Chains A and B, each alone.
Chain A
Amino acid sequence: MLSANMVVLAYLVASVLIILALKGLSSPESSRQGNTFGMFGLLLAVVVTLQLDAVQNYAWIFAAIAVGGLIGGITARKVPMTHMPQTVAFMHSLVGLSAVLIAVSAFYNPVGYGIADANGSLHVASRIELFLGTFIGAITFTASLIAFGKLHGLLSGKPVTFAGQHLLNLVLGVLMIGAGVMFCVDATWTPFLIMLGIALVLGVTLIIPIGGADMPVIVSMLNSYSGWAAAGIGFTLGNNMLIVAGALVGSSGAILSYIMCKAMNRSLFHVLLGGFGGDAPAASAGGVQADRPVQSGAAEDAAFLLKNARSVVIVPGYGLAVARAQHALKEVVDALLNQGVEVKFAIHPVAGRMPGHMNVLLAEADVPYDIVYEMDEINPEFSDTDVVLVIGANDVTNPAAKTDPASPIYGMPILEVSKAAHVLVVKRSLSVGYAGLDNDLFYMDKTMMIFDDAKKACEALIQALD
């Protein structure tokens, strides 16, 4: 058995390994080693905890780890890359649920955690920590389940709004805090369970008004919550490693939420209020004008343009993920590269349903990451580009964000594709994008629309390029 000091030092080593795991993600080359560090960090933490004197129930614990590990391992191997957003959301819910279960267990048996005095009554500080850990965990749990349902298509991605919604959330929030304060005073089950119940409901009511394409922000935010929940449990147990790991994850998720909000030019508060992207706005500033002329063409016309271009930039969006067209697109890229065309990818920060979604899909299709560029890197290059191929993206290319102060997306940073010599847009129809706006890009003289599903369009392009 290790001494108490050795245990704390081992946890310190585990914390450092976890920091190295995050540090490794600064570049793809170092990331794989970083991930290994992270695994060793968690392994060390688990082994050190298992040898504690208080831990005797080995058979059951190993059984639980084996069952959970098997399920997690199989899921990790099987899950398609297009399903990563919902997978991540589901995993957040598991962190939230385990935090709640641990908190209930700690409250049931506080002496076992050394957080009660000799009479078995909880310390006041521990009550507050337990309250925080429980409600953050509970909100993370149900909110992530709803996010999972929306991302997986089990629930409608449309925002659910009703009159008095924000008032309801406010009342629920006040009641939850009230019950929590009562719990901190008398440490009994009734206020604890009321607080837990309201927190579970609040997780649902907070997320239902938020629409599908705001999910990058929400998934990042829940990522952050799952970290704070872990840190809350760390405070309850007085365990610095949990606090460090939780704080790292919490700040990571918060930074991602911030980056996503900035890329949509919206405040986190505005996103959380929800309702965005439900109905097409009545304001006609960018409303659909059905009779505007568009040029549409077949894959052969597009292939001709692409073949004769010197440089091509491809802008992928959520439509690529929906159609699972990444592999077909890679073949188009290969065909172009074989003909001596320079090909680059341009990724908007909120393309897809989670941060970095497009990068992973392209990596899965073997697109080398050094031809994939972020928005700020590629925007100055569009004016020197012969052809831009927009595939499954819409709002992130809408020039109205730069030119029309009346547009709801005015001020949002966009990929400035309209500066290129020619623009090809693959889209199933002229339907509006998520923001409910028409896109002026589609009606420009330099633009040719290819009305097709992303995958079918890519397959037709491959044929035409041969």
Chain B
Amino acid sequence: MCEGVDCNTALQAAAHAGHAAQTADPFVMSFSVFVLAIFVGYHVVWNVTPALHTPLMSVTNAISSIVIVGAIIASGGLEMNLATVLGLVAVGLAAVNIFGGFMVTQRMLAMFKKRS
């Protein structure tokens, strides 16, 4: 069996090469998703009727508060430290937006009526 630093690096390099051949860097995967989502957003949002641009802004407020997922992970630990406390504050702020954003959107959308 081999010993020493050289062998270790060789093994690591081999493992790394094999890894790279099978799956891309996670960042590249995320970036692909990001670019595709921009395209979806572009096509979906151009179809939004101008009359509903204000509800569009309030609902996108609620949607970007999806950062609550990150905030929950940040505050998930049982040990209370700076990370957990900041996470909890972020959970609260995002919750304001999620409830506020969806409810005010619903309130606005309920007002749009056709001629009776």
Contact = CB atoms under 8 A, between A and B. Distances in A.
Interface of A: 15, 18-19, 21-23, 25-28, 31-32, 35, 38-39, 42, 45-46, 49-50, 52, 54-57, 60-61, 64-73, 75-77, 79, 81, 84, 87-88, 91-92, 94-95, 97-99, 101-102, 104-106, 108-109, 112-113, 125, 219-220, 223, 226-227, 229-231, 233-253, 255-256, 259, 347, 349, 354-357, 359-360, 363-364, 366, 368-372, 374
A35 B56 CA distance: 10
Closest 5 CB pairs of A and B: A68-B95, A356-B53, A72-B100, A251-B41, A355-B53
B111 to A, nearest CB: 4
Contact of B95 (A19, A67, A240): A67
A84 B45 contact: no
Given A28-B52, A256-B45, 5 more contacts: A72-B99, A88-B61, A256-B56, A349-B50, A356-B55
Q: Is the interface of A mostly helix, strand, loop or mixed?
A: helix
Given A39-B102, A125-B27, A101 B87 contact: yes
A356 B50 contact: yes
A106 B82 CA distance: 10
Nearest to B85: A105
B44 A354 contact: no
A237 B53 CA distance: 31
A354 B61 CA distance: 14
B107 A245 contact: no
Nearest to B82: A108
Contacts of A356: 50-57
Nearest to B106: A35
A161 B52 CA distance: 34
A108 B86 contact: yes
B36 to A, nearest CB: 8
B37 interface: yes
Contacts of B87: 101-102, 105
Contacts of B105: 35
B55 A239 contact: no
Contacts of A92: 61
Contacts of B46: 255
Contacts of B109: 28, 31-32, 35
Nearest to A109: B83
A245 to B, nearest CB: 4
B77 A354 contact: no
Contacts of A219: 57
A294 B101 CA distance: 46
A242 B70 contact: yes
A71 B96 contact: yes
Nearest to A222: B57
A19 B43 CA distance: 11
B113 A366 contact: yes
Contacts of A360: 54-55, 108, 111
Nearest to A128: B27
Nearest to B74: A105
A373 B77 CA distance: 53
A88 B27 CA distance: 32
B76 A233 contact: no
Given A61-B88, A239-B69, A73 B82 contact: no
A222 to B, nearest CB: 10
